[in-house]
Amino acid sequence: MFECDKCGECCRNLHKSPIYNELHNGDGICMYLKNDICTIYDDRPLVCRVDECYEVMFKEQIIYQDYLELNYKFCKELKKSRRK
């Protein structure tokens, strides 16, 4: 299971992937992120649910462990770019 620390970095960088276009108004920040908290967390879209998204969209293309590693890699990169 993907372990999210809920830092919100992914929610502030939606412009980096077109699959999130409907969730921001061109600024890259999720319209549901308020004070670093997702206001629709329990009802967030499938693309925001790492584990469920794997089952529905990526299970046939990549093994789960590799999928998790990619998600953690990009998570770390987003956090590192924020510190600059």
Place of tokens 């046939």: 60
pTM of the model: 0.83
CA atoms within 13 A on the CB side of 68: 8
* pLDDT score at 15: 94
The CA distance from 24 to 12, in Å, is: 9
* pLDDT score at 83: 62
**Greatest CA separation found in the chain?**
37
**Domain definitions of the chain by residue range:** 10-78
Q: What share of the chain is helix, strand, coil (3-state, %, to 5)?
A: 55, 5, 35
What's the average pLDDT block by block, 10 residues per block, for the chain (84 residues)?
91 94 95 94 95 96 97 94 70
The CA distance from 67 to 49, in Å, is: 13
